[in-house]
Amino acid sequence: MKKTGPLYNIKMVSKETGLTPATLRAWERRYGIPNPVRSSGGQRLYSEEDISLLKWLVARKKEGMSISRAISLWKTREIHPSAEADVTKVSSEPDISSGENEQILENLHKVWSRACLTFNEEEANFAINKALEISTPELVCTQVIQKGLAAIGKGWYTGKVSVQQEHFASALATRHLNKLMESTPIPHDSDRILLICPPEEAHELVLLMLSFLLRRRSWNTTFLGANTPLEKLDSVIHSTMPKLVLSAAQTLPAAASLLKLAGTVNKQSVPFAFGGGIFNDIKGLSQRIPGFFIGRNLESAPRVIELLLMQHPYSSETQPLPSNYLNSLEGFKRHKGNIMNRINQILSFHSFPSFQLELANTHFIPGVIAALSLGDIHFLDYLKKWLDGLLKNYGLPSSLISQYYLAFQQAVQEQMDNKENPILEWLSVLKPVG
């Protein structure tokens, strides 16, 4: 937007637009809009175009639109003037301003997914670059990359996508996001938010996306990557002095690791917030983590985080486990190797396929440890349903799936104390897989 001579000081602009000087400075710092010039004495000076822009943003806010969404829409208008038509009908939700652009992004996320499945990096890059031509980086992140990864993940679950294809897509998505991060300046004068993947969490993309979305809103984010160990984390927090520590979990074992991470962070008197797909799937799981749940939607998470920071929150303490859970957890960990060997031995008499047996053990055994660590064995209800579907998708008949849980029950009975054992109580009421 070209500016004419800057004539108005911040007091006059505040009177003209109804916005307080504090709000004007905050928008300038966080979003780069407006962008006044400075007088020789350092005073902000605004132009007529600045005032017109601010009045337009105020009108959008009165309609219920968030300021970040309104600014994104304004920038889209500057790049694509045709997108200017009838802006008053745009929803306050973080959606795409043009139905045509929405359909294009939908098609591009499919193009990107197909390119990943054929290991075609050139075509995948084309899809991302095309999306960036018609939309904001935030929407490219959520509507193309995130949706594409979700489709590929569903394909893996149904047995239609290989591990190699899924890994290629994840690696390519990471490169896309890192490029977007590199093009977004680090706001050094802003409060820092530290993003940490807990131990046992190898899926870093959700937190990387969140780091990018927060950086776009002028937050100084530091992302530590996947599967971050807790050792020396105290010194990292001390040196970075974050305003907030953020984390996410996509699996039940990762949620149990999140519990340990929350305890470490809370001891440093730093607010802790978290999210992740597993909390959308298991009712009540978020209540087990001593921190602030940022919700079920990646797009709305930055706004939730900003509201949280305005409240100067303090996290609660980790609740101790009941004695029967603690004893079962220690016993299961101590005998885990023997239990797994016994399961394999029992199922060898049933011609249980080795690949599916490894798949079952890989997901269910850590899941049992996680459910015990989190203090609710019924969190396994979701994991069992998910695992049953996975094993069926990979060709295992229902009779053998039921046999797996019977073998698991027998192995636990042989290796552990059966008194007040939550694992055996849960296994004893299972019905055969239909």
Do 199 and 297 belong together in one domain?
Answer: yes
Do 116 and 154 belong together in one domain?
Answer: yes
The more confident residue out of 79 and 204 is: 204
Do 400 and 332 belong together in one domain?
Answer: yes
CATH of the domain at 239: 3.40.50.280
Query: Could you say which of 319, 341, 358 is where a domain stops?
Result: 319
Do 393 and 358 belong together in one domain?
Answer: yes
Kindly state the tokens that stand for 381. 């209800």
3 has pLDDT over 80: no
**pLDDT tier at 93, thresholds 50, 70, 90:** very low
How far apart are the C-alpha atoms of 252 and 204, rounded to whole Å?
Answer: 15
Mean pLDDT, range 79-95, rounded to an integer: 35
362 domain-assigned: yes
82 has pLDDT over 70: no
76 has pLDDT over 80: no
**pLDDT tier at 92, thresholds 50, 70, 90:** very low
74 has pLDDT over 90: no
Mean pLDDT value across the chain: 86
Q: Cβ(126)–Cβ(360) under 8 Å? A: no
Range of the domain at 72: 10-88
**pLDDT tier at 347, thresholds 50, 70, 90:** very high
260 domain-assigned: yes
pLDDT at residue 408, rounded to an integer = 96
Do 297 and 218 belong together in one domain?
Answer: yes
Query: Could you say which of 264, 298, 319 is where a domain stops?
Result: 319
Least confident of 11-25, 63-77, 197-211, 355-369: 63-77
22 domain-assigned: yes
432 domain-assigned: no
1 domain-assigned: no
pLDDT at residue 89, rounded to an integer = 33
Do 346 and 391 belong together in one domain?
Answer: yes
88 has pLDDT over 60: no
Do 170 and 112 belong together in one domain?
Answer: yes
CATH of the domain at 105: 1.10.1240.10
pLDDT in tens, 144-178: 999 999 999 999 999 999 999 999 999 999 999 99
How far apart are the C-alpha atoms of 53 and 350, rounded to whole Å?
Answer: 72
Do 308 and 371 belong together in one domain?
Answer: no
pLDDT in tens, 110-129: 999 999 999 999 999 999 99
Angle at 278 between CA 273 and CA 279, to 5 degrees: 50
CATH of the domain at 30: 1.10.1660.10
4 domain-assigned: no
Mean pLDDT, range 80-96, rounded to an integer: 35
- Percentage of the chain lying above the pLDDT 90 cut: 53
Do 236 and 351 belong together in one domain?
Answer: no
**pLDDT tier at 101, thresholds 50, 70, 90:** confident
Do 313 and 330 belong together in one domain?
Answer: no
Residue 405's closest CA among 382, 420, 387, 422?
387
pLDDT at residue 2, rounded to an integer = 39
How far apart are the C-alpha atoms of 223 and 259, rounded to whole Å?
Answer: 19
pLDDT at residue 409, rounded to an integer = 95
Question: How many folded domains does the chain comprise?
Answer: 4
Prediction pTM value? 0.73
pLDDT in tens, 29-73: 888 888 888 887 788 888 888 888 898 888 877 766 778 877 877
Alpha helices by DSSP H, 183-216: 205-216
How far apart are the C-alpha atoms of 288 and 262, rounded to whole Å?
Answer: 11
Instruction: Please measure the distance between the N-terminal and C-terminal CA atoms of the chain and give it in whole angstroms.
Output: 63
pLDDT at residue 133, rounded to an integer = 86
- Percentage of the chain lying above the pLDDT 70 cut: 90
Do 308 and 195 belong together in one domain?
Answer: yes
425 has pLDDT over 90: yes
422 domain-assigned: yes
Do 252 and 304 belong together in one domain?
Answer: yes
115 domain-assigned: yes
326 has pLDDT over 50: yes
pLDDT at residue 63, rounded to an integer = 66
**pLDDT tier at 96, thresholds 50, 70, 90:** very low
79 has pLDDT over 60: no
The strands making up 220-223's β-sheet, listed across from edge to edge, are: 220-223, 192-195, 244-248, 272-275, 292-293
Query: Could you say which of 183, 205, 234 is where a domain stops?
Result: 183
4 has pLDDT over 80: no
CA–chain centroid gap for 358, Å, is 28
Mean pLDDT, range 249-273, rounded to an integer: 91
pLDDT at residue 97, rounded to an integer = 44
pLDDT at residue 427, rounded to an integer = 94
Least confident of 159-163, 221-225, 309-313: 309-313
85 has pLDDT over 60: no
